[in-house]
Every structure is written in C-alpha cells, then in structure tokens.
Amino acid sequence: MGKEHHPTGKSRRGGDDLWDLVPSTVHLRDVTLRDGLQSESIVLDLGDKVSLARVMIDAGIREMEVTAFVHPEKVPAMADAERLCRELPMRSSVIYSALVFNAKGLDRALETGVDQIAVFVSASDAQSRSNTGKGTAESLAEAQGVLTRAAKEDIKIRTGVISAFGCRLEGRISPARVSDLVRALHETGSEEMTLADTSGTADPHQILERVASCRSILGGTRLSLHLHDATGWALANLTTALQLGVDTFDVTLGGLGGCPFVPEAAGNLAIHRVVRFLGAMGIDTGIDLGGLQEGLSRLERMVGRRLSPGDSP
C-alpha cells in the first residue's frame, strides 16, 4: 500500500474527457402504457389509459410507447390497441408509438394512424421463440418484410433489439449476434435503434462495448436504450450510455413493468428516479416532477397497489 498505489500510473486531467459527450438534454420515452401494463393482471380501462397519457404529456413527456399490435388473447392488456390509438389526445408535439411484429400488426397500426411503429427482434433465440413462437432468424425475416412495407407508408419507423445484453433463458448474448441484428434492421432505414436490456442483467462495460459498436454501425441515427433494473445497475448503465452520447431512454411510472414472456424480468427504469438523477447533474429532461407525481398516484389507484417512485436502493 502507500505511495506506489495508483494502479495504472495514468491519470485524467480533470476527468472532463469522460463527460464531453454527455448530452445537456435527455429524452425520456414513457412506455408505461405498453411495457408497464402488459404484465399486469389487471387490464386497465381505455379511459384510464387515455387519462394517464394526458397527465404524462402535461408533465412534459413527448414520446410515448402506448400499445402493441399483438394477438389480443396473448396480451389482453393490449386488446384495445386500435381504440386507444384513436382516443389518445392529439398533440403535434407528441410521438405515439406501438410495437408491431408482423404484417397483420402493421395493417392494424396503419389503420389507426399511430405516429410510429416499433419493430423489435430478440437477439435470444430461446426468448424469441418463447415470445413469438419464432426464432431470431425467422423473426428478423418477418420484421424486414414489415419494415420494407412500412417504408412506403406515411409512418415513422423505429427498430430495436430485445435481449441485446443477456437473457434469463440463454445467459449472455454475443456482441456479434447483436451487431448483426442491428446492421440488418438499420439497413431497412429506420429512424432510431433501441437496444433493450430485457432481463436487466447488463453491466456498464457491456453497455460501453455494445453501444460503441452499435454507434459505429448506425452513424448519426438515433440510438436509445430500454433498461430494466433487475439488479439496481440500471442507473450505472444509463450513466455509461450518457458518456457515449446516448440521449434517449425508455422509462415507466413507478418502474412498472417487465415482460410476461421473460421469467423474472424486473421493472423498467422509474421515471421519477431518472428525472431526479439527471437533474442533479444539470441534465434537462423537460419533465415536471409534480406532474409525474399526479401520474403515479393515478396509476397506483388503477393497478390497486403502491408503486415505488424508485428513489431508494
């Protein structure tokens, strides 16, 4: 121990080089109505969903993933997808998105006029089969068909990779598998790529490697992260992503959510938690904490239990 201890002998003058890509503004996409609700046993009323969307918009949310065009029997919470898309408050400043996995889903999305479709493929073959009945390769082919068609329509397109870090069924997911998927999806011309830590097992070093390699494929296309917080590592992961210039993250009220097809998937990043964390570092989200609190109280009444604002470890 003692004077010789500094492990590398290297140093960072001021450390600013760690922070020079950190954005001054971060975009938080609220996915409460989709990822938050899909594994709840209670199916919310359409009116409740719409009122929640309104509160979140009033609180400053400008992007919202509201539903999934999937089989209503498979995910009852999303059975009202068409009606919800029609009832949501129209705001030119707000982008509503919906998950789409196949041609039928795209037809439904186009019919409702939702602003953006989100087309995701899982990097875990086992999880893909468990989720959609199809492996990664088949799901990718289907996604490419959807994306090719959607590109000709007047709809925004976002793509993403589910289980882009690890999987409760398969364990670690190889970086090459993720890069291949990102490349294949990016070639279809989407406006944004989301990497999802569906199992909540990513660590900061994985985030660094995967975000950096994804960024090199994507060029200037927007890159976002969907982080679950199974282990309490999500804010550390978010911090590393910020250092790589990532400025868009999915969040839910009270950290609600998981995935009905992924055993033990933990909640999403809680929006209160992210807003306070970023705020402490002077990073603006445009979100009003008071407004969020109103949303959280409403959601707690709707799901019939207390949710954590997510401030304690």
Catalytic residue IDs: 259
Nearer to a copy of itself, 116 or 131 (CB): 116
Residues 164-223 that bind a copy of itself (CB under 8 A): 191-192, 201, 203-206, 208-209, 211-213, 215-216, 219-223
Where b means 16+ CB within 10 Å and e means fewer, 267-297 reads: bbbbbbbbbbbbeeeebebebeeebbeebbe
Q: Pick from 94, 235, 289, 302: which binds a copy of itself (CB under 8 A)?
A: 235
Residue whose C-alpha is closest to residue 177's, from 125, 241, 139, 118: 125
Closest CA to 265 of 255, 274, 273: 255
Q: Which stretch binds a copy of itself (CB under 8 A): 125-133, 136-144, 226-234, 298-306?
A: 226-234
Nearer to a copy of itself, 133 or 245 (CB): 245
Determine, following the binding rule CB under 8 A, whether residue 14 of this chain makes contact with a copy of itself.
yes
What amino acid is encoded at 242 in this protein?
L
Torsion, Cα of 267, 192, 289, 269 (10° steps): 20
Report the residue from 1, 92, 93, 152 that binds a copy of itself according to the rule CB under 8 A.
Answer: 1
> Looking at beta carbons only, is 10 or 306 nearer to a copy of itself?
10
Three-state DSSP class for residue 133: coil
Least separation in angstroms between CB 131 and a copy of itself: 24
Q: Is 245 in the site for a copy of itself (CB under 8 A)?
A: yes
**214 neighbors 177 (Cβ within 8 angstroms):** no
CB-based contact 270:254 (threshold 8 Å): yes
Only segment of 19-27, 85-93, 138-146, 176-184 that touches a copy of itself (CB under 8 A): 19-27
- Compute the radius of gyration of the chain from its Cα atoms: 19
Contact flags string 247-286 toward a copy of itself, x per CB under 8 A:
x-------x----------xx-----x--xx--xxx----
Closer residue to a copy of itself in complex, CB, 26/303: 26
Q: Are 284 and 275 in contact (CB under 8 A)?
A: no
We find the least distance from the C-beta atom of residue 176 to a copy of itself, in angstroms, to be 15
Find the binding residues for a copy of itself in span 46-85 (CB under 8 A).
none
Q: What is the DSSP secondary-structure string of 255-271?
A: G----TTSTT--PBPBH
Angle at 76 between CA 74 and CA 82, to 5 degrees: 105
Nearer to a copy of itself, 76 or 232 (CB): 232
**Within 127-166, which residues bind a copy of itself (CB under 8 A)?**
156
